Amino acid sequence: MMERHRMLKESQIMKIHYITGIAAIFVVAVHILMRLIVPFGSSLEYDYIISNYKNIFYVFILESILVLISIHGFNGIRIILLV
């Protein structure tokens, strides 16, 4: 028997594109606000940077930015190439 591959409709792909774009803006805004509450000089200290990466919330924010921007960016390239 042949398997049927389920393809996403273009409208579903665009919804994913819009949702990842809005979510990326929100997550980047949270990241920037987290950086603004710390004075610039102390934010460059080694111990402070290491303590950031031990904070699970901060790591989740950074990983979310990476995933959302990647999905949004690759989908944007796909849209550009199809037009």
Single out the residue of 30, 22, 19 nearest to residue 62, CA to CA. Answer: 30
pTM exceeding 0.95: no
Range of the domain at 50: 22-82
Instruction: Per-residue pLDDT tens, the chain, 83 aa: give them.
Output: 556 667 778 888 899 999 999 999 999 999 999 889 989 888 889 999 999 999 999 999 999 999 999 999 999 999 899 87
28 falls within a domain: yes
Identify whether 62 is part of a domain. Answer: yes
Give the count of domains, the chain.
1
In a domain, 16, yes or no: no
Residue-level pLDDT at 7: 77
Provide the 8-state DSSP code for 16. H
- Does residue 7 lie within any of the structural domains? no
At 2 the pLDDT is 57
Please, what is the angle between helix 10-36 and helix 56-82, to 10°? Answer: 140
- Is 75 a member of any domain? yes
Count CA atoms closer than 13 A to 58's CA, side-chain side: 12
Residues 18/71, Cβ–Cβ less than 8 Å: no
In a domain, 29, yes or no: yes
pLDDT value at residue 3: 65
